[in-house]
Amino acid sequence: MNKNATILVVDDESGVRRSFNMVLKDEYKVLLAGTGKKAVDIYTKHAIDLVLLDILLPDIDGIDLLKKLKQTDPNTEIIMVTAVNDLQTAVKAIKLGAYEYIIKPFIVEDVLTIISRALEKRQLVKEVTYLRNELERYHPFEQMVGKDKKMRSIFELISTVSQSDGAVLIQGESGTGKELVARAIHNLSPRGNQLFVVINCAVIPPTLMESEIFGHNKGAFTGATGTSIGKMEIANKGTVFLDDIDSLNINMQAKLLRVIQEKEFERLGSRKVFKADVRFVAASNQDLSKLILQGKFREDLFYRLNVFTIKLPPLRKRRGDILLLLEHFSDLHAKKTGKPGIKFSERAIKVLMEYDWPGNIREIQNLVERLCTIKQNSVIQLKDVATLNISKKKITDGSLKEAVSSFEKQYIAEALEMLEGNRKNVSEKLGIHRNTLLAKIHEYGLHI
């Protein structure tokens, strides 16, 4: 049962309106109208979930009013109520979109059951719209992974802020798992059993952003051939995740700020006010304070979103999690495909641990996916990951001679690995005599 639903009762008999109000007021918000004109006025100003509509009204035919209300918002459920048992009218009402047709006098329990089912259907429509959007997205992560001290601190912070309803700003480079953090906050919060709705500000064209967020009515703009539910309405009672919030243009930033402040919004082409009972979580891979100085981001919106801040470290700052993530994504691929996972040789691991991973966790995920797909061997060798551009080592306190020897040892070892220990091929590749190669192998204690 949706106890937060708003029901509009439209009936010219005051006794019927009072009766419905007495029956429904403890479970729902109830609005009353004695005429079609009053009903339209209420309907255009309030977010109505369900209408109990009398067919015989003093100023308009109930069937005509049904048609008008459905044209304004086809997602509102309407139950026709009448004292006349007219099968033809009932059929017409159902064809026009009425959920049910009930005859006076009626049993209260039966009407309550019908109302409950109608509201469940309305909620289902919202969830189906949400799921269609989610199916277009691919979430390869099943859980957050990390044992690094920085990540353990973030896990503790997530647990803390999830219990509040304040806005959260997640900052970090691309691929660091900002959406994962947002989902974790939602799942652990009191809103966890409601919807988590993603708005990707970098992907949606600016011309469509307002309609995407707030929805629109038929005829609101050229091409608006029907009424569309916005993501803010779908997310009611749940969480809205504003990904890449730095990409939102200044005009939309102002409109979003109003929603956060006033907790309400309107669809494009409508005067109806919808309540925005949502928690906001935003993410950015840019420094918003710098964008504020450049006039590209509103300072007031920044402070509204920055109630809690979570800064995710790049993978190069928590190298201890690299091997853990490699194994995690290998296990995920194995579960998904039913094939054995892959392992990494010691030399491959050494290279992967030294790599800076500019694409962060997403880059590791893509690499493992690629290796699992194209490699037949269960163990990934150095040559399989040799295409990665390993960043240059920092200068240490050692001498130049020591640095050269260290580089030479690693370079020869990698050549032996790539060419599977074939000394002839290795000496040719390195441009040295075979005997020189053998001497170097012996000097550095390398294994073929």
Cβ 89 vs Cβ 61: under 8 Å? no
In the block, which residue shows the tokens 């495909």?
337
The CATH label, of 3.40.50.300, 1.10.8.60, 1.10.645.10, 3.40.50.970, for the domain at 316-385 is 1.10.8.60
Residue 98 clears pLDDT 60, i.e. is over it: yes
Residue 1 confidence (pLDDT): 47
The CATH label, of 3.40.50.2300, 3.40.50.1970, 3.40.50.300, 3.20.10.10, for the domain at 149-313 is 3.40.50.300
pLDDT, greater one: 123 or 50: 50
The top-scoring range by mean pLDDT among 97-111, 141-155, 200-214, 332-346 is 200-214
- For the chain, where do the domains classified as CATH 3.40.50.2300 start and end? 6-133
3-state secondary structure 61-85: EHHHHHHHHHHHCCCCEEEEEECCC
For the ranges 71-85, 122-136, 411-425, which has the lowest average pLDDT?
122-136
Residue 394 confidence (pLDDT): 45
- For the chain, where do the domains classified as CATH 1.10.10.60 start and end? 400-444
Residue 2 confidence (pLDDT): 55
> 400-444 — its CATH code?
1.10.10.60
Percentage of residues of the chain with pLDDT beyond 90: 35
Residue 431 confidence (pLDDT): 84
| CA 414 to the chain's CA centroid | 42
Mean pLDDT in residue range 61-80? 88
Residue 357: phi, psi to the nearest 5? 50, 65
> 6-133 — its CATH code?
3.40.50.2300
In the block, which residue shows the tokens 């029907």?
226
Mean pLDDT in residue range 309-328? 91
State the DSSP H helix or E strand holding residue 199, giving kind and residue range, or none if neither. strand 196-200
Mean pLDDT in residue range 215-238? 86
Distances from the Cα of 424 to the Cα of 383, 414, 419, angstroms: 18, 15, 10
Measured CA to CA, the distance from residue 390 to residue 99 in angstroms comes to: 63
How far apart are the two ends of the chain, measured CA to CA in Å? 71
Residue 125 confidence (pLDDT): 73
Measured CA to CA, the distance from residue 10 to residue 217 in angstroms comes to: 23
What 3-state class would DSSP assign to 8? strand
- For the chain, where do the domains classified as CATH 3.40.50.300 start and end? 149-313
Residue 7 confidence (pLDDT): 93
- For the chain, where do the domains classified as CATH 1.10.8.60 start and end? 316-385
Residue 443 confidence (pLDDT): 82
Radius of gyration of the chain (CA): 31
| CA 121 to the chain's CA centroid | 23
Mean pLDDT in residue range 147-176? 90
14-65, pLDDT tens digit by residue? 988 999 999 998 889 999 999 999 999 998 888 888 999 998 899 999 899 9
